[in-house]
Amino acid sequence: MTTTLKSRLQDDLTAAIKARDELRSSTLRLTITAITKEEVAGESARELSDAEVEKIVAREAKKRREAAEAFEKGGRAAQAEREKAEGEVLAEYLPKPLTDDELNALVADAVREAAAGGAEGPRAMGAVMKIVNPKIAGRAEGGRVAAAVKRQLAGG
């Protein structure tokens, strides 16, 4: 059983190669390699779920963002542009990022849920993160989520 996201990546890679789209094909090839590496890591080879494949794609996209920032700081605009373009290719395979309003609404629900379970104030951070993270699943960066949780626990 192949995952739908992984097969979509492979189909898109084939199409990119046929279209001679070097940027897209190299980006997808590297991402599929990262997925395959993960599949054979550990005791025995296994098929990854779509959620696991999505995590790898998100990790690869994050690497591109960080590399683009590093290249920009180093004054290497061409490499920075390439990394950004690769990140945009990968973004197509990830869920749409949450807006600030959507994120705040999810966090507010999680804060209420944690409070109902007896966890309140700044010490409730862990409990709230545990509730909110599965609902966000790759649609917002961890730092952004943590900041929103802190703000709401502080009563802001």
pLDDT in tens, 79-100: 999 999 999 999 899 888 888 8
pLDDT at 74: 94
pLDDT in tens, 94-118: 888 888 888 888 888 888 888 887 7
pLDDT bucket at 2, cuts 50 / 70 / 90: low
pLDDT at 1: 46
Q: How far is Cα 9 from Cα 104, in angstroms, rounded to an integer?
A: 32
For the chain, list the domains and their CATH numbers: 4-92 (1.10.1510.10), 100-154 (1.10.10.410)
| Amino acid (1-letter code) at residue 34 | A
Q: How far is Cα 77 from Cα 69, in angstroms, rounded to an integer?
A: 10
The answer to whether 9 and 33 are in contact (CB under 8 A) is: no
- Given a cut of 80, is residue 3 above it in pLDDT? no
